[in-house]
Each structure stands twice: as C-alpha cells, then as structure tokens.
Amino acid sequence: MMNTLAVNQLSTFRWDFETDAQAYADHGFGGIGLFRPKVEDFGIDRSVELLADLDLSVTSLSWAGGFTGSDGRGFNDAVRDAMSAVTDAANLRADTLIVLAGGRNNHIRRHARRTLCEALAKVSIIAEEFGVRIALEPFHPGCGHEWSFVNDLESTLQIIDMVGSPNLGIVLDTYHVGMDDDVLRWLPHACPHVHLLQLGDGRHSPLGEMNRCLLGEGCVPIESIVHTLLDHGYQGPIEAEVIGEDVEPLEYEMVLDHTRGFLDQLTQSKVH
C-alpha cells in the first residue's frame, strides 16, 4: 500500500502537539496533518525533531488563505501570511500546504475568483522555489461560506486551470465534497490534481458548524470515493479529520482506535 495513513491535529483539538504526535505514532499512523497554531505553540524546530524521532511524516499543514478579506485581513497581509506558511511547510517537510479561498465577502463571484487566482499565482511562485506543493480545499457551502466561496471540484479545477502552476492542486475532503451527487463523476478529472485525500463523514449535509461523525457512520460514500481515486492512480496520503459535536463527547483514544480500524479495512479491501 503506497498511501501514508494520517490524522489531522484538528481531530484531537484539545491535546497539545506532543500528545498528538505520540498518540498518532502509538496507533500506528505514518503521518500527521499539522495545524499551524499548534505548531507555533510548540515551535517549528522542536516539531521537526519530535516528528523525526517518532518517524511521522507531515501530510499537510493547515491553513493559509482567506485572500478575499472575509476574515478581516487585507489581501497583502493574507498573501504575506501564506508565504510565511510556505517557508514553515518547507521546514516541516510538509507534503502539502492547504489553502482556503476565503468567503465571497460581498464581492461578485468573478471578482472573488480573480482575487484568489492573483493570490495563488503569487504564492505558487514562492512555493515552487521552496519545493512546497499547495492545495486548494473546496468547502461545502452549508458550513463553509465564510471560509471559502469555492465549493465543489468543478470550480476548484477551473481555478487550478486559470492559475496554471504545476504545484497547485486540490485537497479533496470527503466531508465537503462527498455528499455532492456529482462527485463520483468528477473524480477521474480531479484525481491527477489531488495532493491530499482527507476523510470526513457526516450524518447529514453540513449545516452551520462542521459536524462530522466517526468514519463509516455517516452518509458519505467514503469507500466508493477512495476506491475510485486509488483505481485512478492516487498514491498520496489519506488523512482523517474527525471533528464536530457528534464526536465531541468521545475520548480521543477511542476516536483514534476507530479511525485506525476503519482505514485498515478500507485499504485492505483494496489490495488485489
């Protein structure tokens, strides 16, 4: 099996960096999806050292972006922040830096898209110099309109096409795009551009806050999505993100156990 199995630090939000890393390694995961505030608290050099000791590869660094000003920052500030995230990603040897477009913020869609493409073009140049891949993550409009005006694979592919940078790709999070009836039809087109496959499940379409459930207990066709991507040659990491009030009361150890079991089953059924 080529794909590194990983967990995103948002899944164990209340733990600190060290506890996350140790627990993921103990549960036999090969990778970790890093959350920038946790890395900043722990320190980049210490993070690099600890992850090397535990033999954990960094499957992603979250997030940069918000170029439309929806989070209160100006365009230049958001671009500068994304550039500093690129250097962090390079130092952490992260597979991919995840980028969020930002909400529409009262712009007309065309203007928002032009702003995003301009930002991605600038950040891509720096990312190429540092050998860092960046990946745009579409967000379900039901829970992410303030995070991203890019909501599906089709519009993400259009933006990648417009920017035209070889190291810009897609984060495909099954929670955000997996409930779209068209998703399986778009996967073959998207697959060559997928830098990171994130697994998330939900009991119903996102509404308001993100509310994921344990993998395999919701209505997202995770197995079909994963198997389609693997059939089309996806060899990148598979990273679980389990977060929301459905899982809030559960012990993190239990969440990690369940996630590990689900991923093992999913990937074993794929070995011919």
Structure-block tokens of residue 248: 């809030």
Mean pLDDT of the residues in the chain: 93
Neighbours of 237 (CB within 10 A): 24
Q: How many CB atoms lie within 10 A of CB 252?
A: 18
User: Using alpha carbons only, what angle is made at residue 237 by residues 236 and 241, rounded to the nearest 5 degrees?
Assistant: 140
Q: Which of 86, 97, 103 is nearest to 35 (CA)?
A: 97
- Can you tell me the distance from the alpha carbon of 142 to that of 176, in angstroms, rounded to the nearest whole number? 9
pTM of the prediction? 0.94
Angle between helix 252-268 and helix 222-231 axes, rounded to 10 deg: 50
126-147: pLDDT as tens digits = 999 999 999 999 988 887 777 8
Please give the Cα distance from 65 to 234 (Å, whole number): 25
The domain limits of the chain are 5-268
Q: In the prediction, which pLDDT does 271 show? A: 45
**Using CA atoms, how far apart are residues 25 and 271, in angstroms rounded to an integer?**
23
The alpha helices in the chain, defined as continuous H runs, are 17-26, 36-42, 44-54, 75-92, 109-130, 141-144, 153-163, 174-177, 183-190, 222-231, 252-268
Q: How many CB atoms lie within 10 A of CB 121?
A: 14
Given this model, what pLDDT does residue 272 score?
34
Q: State the distance between the two ends of the chain, measured CA to CA, in whole angstroms.
A: 10
Topology of the domain comprising 5-268? TIM Barrel (3.20.20)
Question: What are 192-240's pLDDT values in tens digits?
Answer: 999 999 999 999 887 777 789 999 999 999 999 999 999 999 999 999 9
63: cis peptide before it, omega within 30°? Answer: yes
Distance of CA 77 to the CA centre of its chain: 22
Query: What would the two tokens of residue 198 be?
Result: 């994130």
Measured in whole angstroms, the distance separating CA 204 from the mean position of its chain's CA atoms is 20
Element (H, E) at 173: strand 168-173
Confidence band, pLDDT 50/70/90 cuts, at residue 270: low
pLDDT at position 83: 97
Question: What is the DSSP code (8-state) at residue 86?
Answer: H
Structure tokens at 127: 């990312």
Number of neighbouring beta carbons within 10 Å of residue 234? 22
Task: Using the CB atoms, write b or e for 180-216: b if 16+ within 10 Å.
Answer: beebeebbeebbebbbbbbbbbbeeebeeebbbbbbb
